[in-house]
């Protein structure tokens, strides 16, 4: 009997060590660490919103911080050679935006699963893009343009969600404008950094402040606009797209007349939607 017990113990130890080795091998690859981080955060977001409801707001902020922490742990080797604080801006805002927007949608299982899936896909794409930015700052790679497109798209999505949440709170004008500025400034800072890849936060700081002030002025007008938070957020996101998008093409030295009209057309379309769908009665 003792022999059988010893064999069973040895078998357990072998299985445990094999399982632990598989986990270590899985986490040694950078891409696999990013996948594990996305899965962990997606599960945490689903639990926070589906089971905790509105009481999960604090957990949403915690997940936003954890998003940056896991990104740092996944890319720590590359960050040793080329650390840039800007790569942590958009992942934090994206997790925060999705988590807070959860509170505005119907509490249905299918809706929650859809939003969680959107979050997972977007976060994984964002993680890969931030990795590309870090690597491309050391050497030129072909995927840089794709990474810029992905991050700009996620910036627009995050901006729309955050603006929708802020205007849905129906706070006074001062608090609303402060909150708008708190996520507008870092979003623009990260978006312009993706084209310069300058480590210094002072780089283009004056330009970032100017663009933030432009959107700030639109926010003042929109606070008094008699429309729904969703339409207001849509218009403000359109303004963000136009202003920041024109800055991007200017940095790429592609600021031609036709390109300018394409961006202005987007602003005209979202303004038309805001105007015609506003209840003036």
Tokens 């957990």 found at:
59
- Least Cα distance to 133 among 90, 96, 172 occurs for 90
The domain ranges of the chain are: 25-276
* Lowest mean pLDDT segment, chosen from 1-5, 41-45, 112-116, 160-164: 1-5
Tokens of 273: 């939607």
Average pLDDT over residues 231-244: 94
> Which pLDDT tens digit goes with each residue over 62-107?
899 999 999 999 888 877 777 788 899 999 999 999 988 887 777 6
- Least Cα distance to 121 among 170, 154, 82 occurs for 154
- Least Cα distance to 247 among 234, 270, 263, 235 occurs for 263
pLDDT at 48 over 90: no
How does DSSP classify residue 105?
S
pTM for the predicted model, two decimal places: 0.86
CA-to-CA distance for 27 and 100, rounded, in angstroms? 30
Percent of the chain with pLDDT over 70: 85
């Amino acid at each position: 009997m003792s022999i059988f017990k010893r064999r069973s113990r040895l078998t357990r130890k072998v299985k445990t060590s094999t399982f632990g080795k598989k986990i270590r091998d899985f986490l040694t690859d950078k891409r696999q660490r990013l996948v594990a981080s996305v899965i962990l955060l997606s599960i945490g977001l689903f639990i926070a919103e589906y089971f905790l409801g509105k009481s999960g707001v604090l957990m949403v902020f915690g997940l936003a911080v954890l998003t940056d922490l896991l990104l740092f742990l996944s890319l720590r080797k590359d960050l040793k050679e080329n650390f840039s604080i800007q790569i942590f801006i958009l992942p934090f805002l994206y997790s925060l935006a999705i988590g807070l927007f959860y509170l505005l949608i119907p509490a249905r299982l299918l809706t929650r699963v859809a939003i969680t899936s959107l979050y997972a896909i977007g976060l994984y794409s964002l993680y890969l893009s931030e990795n590309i930015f870090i690597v491309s700052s050391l050497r030129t790679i072909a995927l840089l343009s794709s990474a810029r497109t992905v991050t700009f798209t996620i910036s627009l999505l995050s901006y729309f969600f955050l603006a929708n949440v802020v205007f849905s709170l129906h706070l006074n004008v001062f608090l609303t404008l402060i909150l708008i500025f708190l996520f507008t400034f870092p979003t623009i800072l990260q978006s312009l950094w993706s084209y310069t890849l300058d480590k210094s936060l002072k780089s283009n700081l004056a330009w970032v402040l100017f663009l933030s002030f432009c959107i700030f002025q639109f926010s003042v007008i929109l606070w008094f606009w008699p429309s729904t938070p969703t339409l207001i957020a849509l218009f403000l996101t359109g303004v963000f797209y136009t202003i920041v998008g024109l800055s991007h093409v200017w940095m790429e030295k592609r600021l031609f007349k036709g390109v300018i009209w394409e961006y202005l057309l987007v602003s005209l379309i979202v303004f038309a939607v805001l105007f015609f769908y506003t209840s003036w009665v």
